[in-house]
Chain A
Amino acid sequence: MLAQHLPALQVVIPLLAAPLCALFRRGFIGWLIAVAATWLAFAAAIGLLFRVLNEGVISYAMGGWAPPIGIEYRVDLINVFVLVVVSGVGSVIIPFARTGTAARFNDTDQAWFYAMYLLALTGLLGVTITGDAFNIFVFLEISSLASYVMIAMGRDRRALTAAYQYLIMGTVGATFIVIGIGLLWAMTGTLNLADLAQRIPEINDTRPVLAALAFLTVGISLKLALFPLHLWLPNAYAYAPAVTSAFLAGTATKVAIYLFLRFFYTVFGGGGFFESTPLPEMFLVLSVVAMFAASTVAVFQDDVKRMFAYSSVAQIGLITLGISYVSETGLTGAMTHLFNHAIIKAGIFMLLGGVMFRMASVKLEDMAGIGRKMPFTMAGIVILGLALIGTPGTSGFISKWWIVLAALEKDQWWLVALILLASLITMLYVGRIVEVAYFREPSAKAADVREAPLAMLIPAYVLVIATIYFGLDTQWSVGLAQRAAADLLAGIY
């Protein structure tokens, strides 16, 4: 009975928990509700994963209204993979959220913060699980609006401008997406993704459909921060509270990547159509530029959070590069990196949150000598940084390995060289932090800081350990990604 309604529960649990947090107006109670709701959502995602593995694609008619009249929730291997990542990262972050939030906000604001967190989670899970195009737009707006608030709650006044920037860019993106969806609806008369997937391939060379494709491409690329549409991201990540940065870095861009895959591979009809457009080449070029430009900019950042924000743009470039190959190996690499990068980046932002909590700064110069003052925090950042570089024994190596394999499959040696050269640049900025943190005398600010509180360290270390674990055992990351990639290419939905 319960298992039957898992697709609905996946979204409904955090959705109902959000107003509950707001009603109680007590930080601690709000936090308890948030913990319960995110963990239940994670459990639901795991439950769905096993159901999909056993039964194949699940179709769930919301409210008993059968599609195409009602809204269909459709769970296959591809989106259940993303559901697990999003709810998993969400539930590791929430225990971490308590310490920093309680120290900075009054009771009411704390409760609001958790409500926003849950709404953002609801939106992202909704986008991922729904099988209805307009529903995607609705959930996308829910998650975006909630995340604007979450960014604006940063301690720095610049967080307000960052949130405003994101609001404008995000709204532009959402508008493009809704125009694209509208055009598709006008041409096919349906909003159901599965129906769209059946009807569009017949008419996918008509002008409105191509226009829809263009609008969707730009809109989704804005959301996933593909170079050069990434400009909202660095400030948003840099000035938001640690919880927000970790959450957005681990989930929001990943869901946008899922949308990208879903529209281009499923709705527009498998890999064939994608390959017949100039999109793969376009994405290849933009991805490579993203990897180099963003990494290079990252090297010269003096704010470590901003540095890793630019690093995110580069890593997203690596994911879209994998997608642009339109091959099973490439997609496997991309989806694996989606999984691995979510864990790595969320972990880094959480550890930086601990630094921020102790020193009220994440400026590189202030972090001088911090390696001795906060040994566990810095060790974690080093391990996760190594994963970003792609050192063997960490999950980052695995995703890079697959993406390199995919380049090799197409005999594109120059791409192999470019991917690895980009890793070198990653090494530069990670190395910069290591050198400052371990081999400089402590800065004035770092002179009397202590290790971050355990309540912040333990959740972050869950992700650090996961990064190593998924570097050595890949049956859940690569194994699932590979099956999902095969489904995507075949256009199975």
Chain B
Amino acid sequence: MEPADHILLAMLIPTVGALLIVLTRRNPNLREAVTLATAGLLFVNVLQLLPVVLAGGRPELSGFEVTPGLEVAFQVEPLGILFGLIASFLWIVNSFYSIGYMRGNKEPRQTQFYVAFAVALASALGIAFSANLFTLFLFYEILTLSTYPLVAHHGDAKARRGARIYLMILLGTSIVFFIPALVWTLAIAGTLDFTPGGILAGKASGLTTGLLLALFAFGIGKAALMPVHKWLPNAMVAPTPVSALLHAVAVVKAGVFTILKVSVYIFGSDHLLATGASEWLVYLATFSLLAASVIALTKDNLKARLAYSTVSQLGYIVLGAAIATPLALIGAGMHILMHAFGKITLFFVAGAIHTATHKTEISQLNGIGRVMPFTMGAFFIGALSIIGLPPLGGAWSKLYIALGGMDGEYWFVVAALMISSVLNVAYLMPVVVRAFFRPPDPDDHGHGDAHGDAAPVPETGSLRSRMKEAPWLCVVPLMFTAFACFILFFAPDAIEGLLQGMLEVPR
């Protein structure tokens, strides 16, 4: 098969998968098998494109012109293949987890859930492989719409409210800021194609570039840059697999991916550095990542804390894009990957705890490490990776961004990153400490437990007798992603090699 076919298949496979899921809705086992097969097939398909891109190729799939200046077309470049691989690979892991979680919690409307998931993945891949801003925008909006039913999944007042905020902010910012950014870019540059080196150099003044960057930074609400981050904590009403894959990986990463793409291929890093137009964004992103960490400290709800942690970590990537030095850009791209594995682990854990004990608040987690040792062990590893400690993947991306900041002579950035890491420790480690070093609450009869089957945790007895893990379909995926955080520590060269490709400007 030609590379172009693989591009088409990357969007086609999940779409067909969604249809098959609808058709097999009467047989849950078959339906879940379809999800797994689709996810596996999709990853294998996207993987076929990797060697081509590594060899310097830029596979294309030409589409059609909608109206002058607006074209639907696809091209695979290093950043896109990285995002595509992350999203499709973690979909496989997440699908196993979803099965365990959705069945373990006896969630309603599961068919709708799996269908929306598949459509979301199709649009994420569309975003990853877009050859121009219009195509990206098209899939960006489909991604918003397809994930809306997932956020509103529970259908109660809280879920409806969360979903309303989700839709209003994401769709609203894209209409009010993203569309003008598109029109303006087209008016200045005459094209919306992603071009190595950017399309605005020599055409836009520093002020214009700065304003345009602001339209993009706030128009791409999925990047959750403060003050348009509010949708993300509100989206946490969704079932945990949604928070894990979509609101830690696919959706938010689509946002920061778009910011990076715009920074590299629309503005061009040289143009940004020469005009200094992105300097304000460095300050804002730094503020965003620190402020979100501080807010995270105040949250007792585990998912809410993780959500603000995500807002903070997305700030790192926007920061890298704004600094725009080569090292910072590579660091930002790498952080998409590293944070994905770390954060999905943490969300998996939050969901596993909910499935096993129906606990949602951190203050309820005293001694839970004795009951769920594997789960909480994985949490520890994932948390270390988010903090950025070796030997885990997160260490590298943060290092690159800090080095990039030094290159750009933003010394305060280095200081801010150090403070942020301390804050990360402060909001993640208490969870681990409570889980492993605090005795269980004496009157613990499983708070909020609808089933009443949570026996009081015995102080003594063998490990096996006091263990009460979530279904293995939940536990194995989270251990796997935690292990992957460790593996990724040994892979920075390969990733840097791949991402170098996005900075090559043909002369």
Question: Which residues of A pack against B, CB within 8 Å?
Answer: 386, 389-393, 398, 401-402, 404-405, 408, 413, 416-417, 420-421, 423-424, 427, 431, 435, 438-440, 471-474, 478
**B157 → chain A closest CB, angstroms:** 9
Sampled A-B contacts (24; CB under 8 Å): A390-B175, A391-B145, A392-B137, A401-B67, A401-B179, A401-B183, A404-B179, A404-B180, A408-B187, A416-B180, A417-B180, A420-B175, A420-B179, A421-B176, A424-B176, A427-B167, A427-B175, A435-B152, A435-B163, A439-B152, A439-B160, A472-B72, A474-B67, A478-B67
A-B interface contact total, Cβ < 8 Å: 71
**A476 → chain B closest CB, angstroms:** 12
The docked-state distance in angstroms from the alpha carbon of A395 to that of B6 is 29
The docked-state distance in angstroms from the alpha carbon of A431 to that of B172 is 12
A472 contacts B171, C-beta separation under 8 Å = no
Query: Does residue B466 face the partner (Cβ distance < 8 Å to A)?
Result: no
In the complex, besides A401-B183, A416-B180, 5 extra interface pairs with C-beta distance below 8 angstroms are A391-B145, A421-B176, A424-B172, A427-B168, A439-B155
The docked-state distance in angstroms from the alpha carbon of A312 to that of B305 is 44
CB-defined contacts of A471 to chain B, threshold 8 Å:
66
Question: Which residues of B pack against A, CB within 8 Å?
Answer: 64, 66-67, 70, 72, 134, 137-138, 141-142, 145, 149, 152, 155, 159-160, 163-164, 167-168, 171-172, 175-176, 179-180, 183-184, 187
CB-defined contacts of B176 to chain A, threshold 8 Å:
417, 420-421, 424
Interface of A is mostly: helix
The docked-state distance in angstroms from the alpha carbon of A392 to that of B172 is 13
CB-defined contacts of A408 to chain B, threshold 8 Å:
183-184, 187
CB-defined contacts of A424 to chain B, threshold 8 Å:
172, 175-176
CB-defined contacts of A431 to chain B, threshold 8 Å:
164, 167-168
Contact with B180, one of A390, A393, A420, A478 (Cβ below 8 angstroms) = A420
A398 contacts B175, C-beta separation under 8 Å = no
CB-defined contacts of B145 to chain A, threshold 8 Å:
386, 391
Q: Which residue of A lies closest to B179 (CB)?
A: A420
B183 contacts A404, C-beta separation under 8 Å = yes
A398 contacts B67, C-beta separation under 8 Å = yes
Q: Which of A392, A427, A439 has the most CB of B within 10 A?
A: A392
A393 contacts B67, C-beta separation under 8 Å = no
The docked-state distance in angstroms from the alpha carbon of A408 to that of B188 is 11
A392-B137, A392-B138 given as contacts; is B149 within 8 A of A438 (CB)? yes
CB-defined contacts of B179 to chain A, threshold 8 Å:
401, 404, 420
The docked-state distance in angstroms from the alpha carbon of A389 to that of B137 is 15
**B430 → chain A closest CB, angstroms:** 35
**B127 → chain A closest CB, angstroms:** 13
CB-defined contacts of A440 to chain B, threshold 8 Å:
155
**A236 → chain B closest CB, angstroms:** 30
A392-B134, A474-B66, A478-B67 given as contacts; is B175 within 8 A of A423 (CB)? yes
CB-defined contacts of B67 to chain A, threshold 8 Å:
398, 401-402, 474, 478
CB-defined contacts of B66 to chain A, threshold 8 Å:
398, 471-474
CB-defined contacts of B187 to chain A, threshold 8 Å:
408
The docked-state distance in angstroms from the alpha carbon of A471 to that of B159 is 32
Q: Which of A398, A404, A435, A440 has the most CB of B within 10 A?
A: A435
The docked-state distance in angstroms from the alpha carbon of A435 to that of B164 is 8
**A423 → chain B closest CB, angstroms:** 5
The docked-state distance in angstroms from the alpha carbon of A424 to that of B174 is 10
